[in-house]
Amino acid sequence: MRVLVLGGDGMLGGELVRRLVRDHDVTATVRAHAPSSPSPADRVLCGVDVRHPESLVDVFAATRPDAVVNAVGLTARRVGEQGVQPAIEVNALFPHRLARLCGAAGARLVHVSTDCVFSGRLGEYHEDDVPDPVDAHGTTKLLGELTEPGTLTLRTSVLGLETAAVPAGLVEWFLSATGRIPGYRRVVYSGVTTAEFARFVHLALVGHPDLSGVWHLASEPITKFDLLTMLADRLGRHNLEIVPSDDEVRNRALSARRLWSVTGYRPPAWAAMVDELATAIERREIEGGSRRGSSHVADVPGVRRAASAGRLTPTSLPTATSAPAPAPAPAPVSAPAPAPAPAEASAVAGASASNGVRADA
């Protein structure tokens, strides 16, 4: 299967590339105009800015994907730094533009949403619970969720190793910490590691081609205190004191029982996911300890940027060969329509978008 991963150098996108390339012909896109290091992807297209639809038209023409995974998005931290307008463009509007491109190309689309579409006041959220985001990040991600045929939106939260020069995630914060750090006993989390997310995407692509709509991909709930303690114990970080704290209260745990029942998939226990994550951390430290060094992104001479139009133009990139016509698909398994967005989300949709955004996965 020809798979296009958008945002292939981010925390999630990079892991998706590493997993999917084992079984698929993978093209990854990155926003940077020059590669930072080698990539396991079959090809990497640089300078792809998702705010410019014409760039993606060229990418689709050159790669002819059977499936697209959208790992591009502005995180809560980036939205806080850059404001709501870039988030509207990247999180809310772009996924719908991408869905139209995929529909025209006959490509399946897997889109990544977030548990932040919920406030965290209740916990154990189901797909048909009414979203109630409390910030611009959650609201714009909610507006970007897809329900069109041929699209699969996965609400989740992920943790893993990062490649950014200034990391923003829990794991890198934990690894850089010394002395005493807070461990929130009343903040409940039900995400998965990036490695586990990538495994499920592969499973969905090859084993459940009819799965569509909005679904929750989640693990058993765990508190941030227990999660950090488990990781510290596994890594032997005994010089780090995790201080129990009740200063924050939030439960965004998602119920994934509907997904489990339909697909038969269930993520491993947290002990197994943490062990795999710790092994990746130790491997990175042995190989040099650099976050940048763990990212594998290479340039592709087959695509160049036309300076006048800012578009990607195929040059020597081999044209993807046509695949045999697939067998008729079974009746689609669609998630029930998600609950309508709150009124304030609709108001945000009318705001204007702007340039100057960094699209981080």
Query: Where in the sequence is the domain holding 98, given as residue range(s)?
Result: 2-159+192-216+291-349
**What is the amino acid identity at position 256?**
A
**Smallest Cα–Cα separation from 253: which of 125, 142, 147?**
125
Q: What is the pLDDT of residue 36?
A: 56
Angle of CA points 93, 96, 102, to nearest 5°: 140
Q: What is the pLDDT of residue 288?
A: 76
Q: Is residue 20 part of a domain?
A: yes
Report pLDDT digits (tens) over 70-88: 999 988 888 888 889 999 9
Q: How many CA atoms lie within 13 A of 270 on its CB side?
A: 19
Rounded-to-integer distance, Cα 335 and Cα 332, Å: 10
Q: What is the pLDDT of residue 163?
A: 74
Q: Is residue 281 part of a domain?
A: no
Rounded-to-integer distance, Cα 142 and Cα 137, Å: 9
Q: What is the pLDDT of residue 307?
A: 30
89 contacts 126 by C-beta, under 8 angstroms: no
Q: Is residue 186 part of a domain?
A: no
Report pLDDT digits (tens) over 204-218: 999 999 999 999 999
Q: Is residue 118 part of a domain?
A: yes
Q: What is the pLDDT of residue 83?
A: 86
pLDDT confidence tier of residue 352, bands split at 50, 70 and 90: very low
Indicate left, alpha or beta for 174 from its phi (over 0: left) and psi (-120 to 50: alpha). alpha
Compute the chain's Rg from CA coordinates: 20
Per mean pLDDT, which of 41-50, 77-86, 171-180, 189-198 is the most reliable? 189-198
Burial readout 320-331 (b: 16 or more C-beta within 10 A, e: otherwise): eeeeeeeeeeee
Q: What is the pLDDT of residue 162?
A: 87
Q: What are phi and psi of 6, to 5 degrees?
A: -90, 130
Name the H helices within 83-157. 84-87, 94-105, 136-143
Q: Is residue 128 part of a domain?
A: yes
How many distinct structural domains can be found in the chain? 1
Report pLDDT digits (tens) over 48-77: 999 887 889 999 999 999 999 999 998 888
Report pLDDT digits (tens) over 101-151: 999 999 999 999 999 999 999 999 999 999 999 999 999 999 999 999 999
Q: What is the pLDDT of residue 359?
A: 33
Q: Is residue 175 part of a domain?
A: no
Distance, first Cα to last Cα, the chain:
23
- In percent, the amount of the chain with pLDDT more than 90 equals 68
Instruction: Please determine, for residue 35, whether its predicted confidence score (pLDDT) is greater than 60.
Output: no
**Which pair of structure tokens corresponds to residue 65?**
């994907």
Q: Is residue 68 part of a domain?
A: yes
Rounded-to-integer distance, Cα 174 and Cα 167, Å: 11
Report pLDDT digits (tens) over 218-244: 999 999 999 999 999 999 998 899 999
Q: What is the pLDDT of residue 166?
A: 64
- CATH number of residue 323's parent domain: 3.40.50.720
pLDDT confidence tier of residue 310, bands split at 50, 70 and 90: very low
Instruction: Please determine, for residue 355, whether its predicted confidence score (pLDDT) is greater than 90.
Output: no
Rounded-to-integer distance, Cα 186 and Cα 246, Å: 6
Least confident of 250-264, 312-326, 331-345: 312-326
Q: Is residue 103 part of a domain?
A: yes
pLDDT confidence tier of residue 305, bands split at 50, 70 and 90: very low
**Smallest Cα–Cα separation from 111: which of 43, 50, 168?**
50
| Span 30-46, average pLDDT | 78
11 contacts 20 by C-beta, under 8 angstroms: no
Report pLDDT digits (tens) over 151-175: 999 999 999 998 766 677 899 999 9
pLDDT confidence tier of residue 339, bands split at 50, 70 and 90: low
Q: In the predicted model, what is the mean pLDDT of the chain?
A: 83
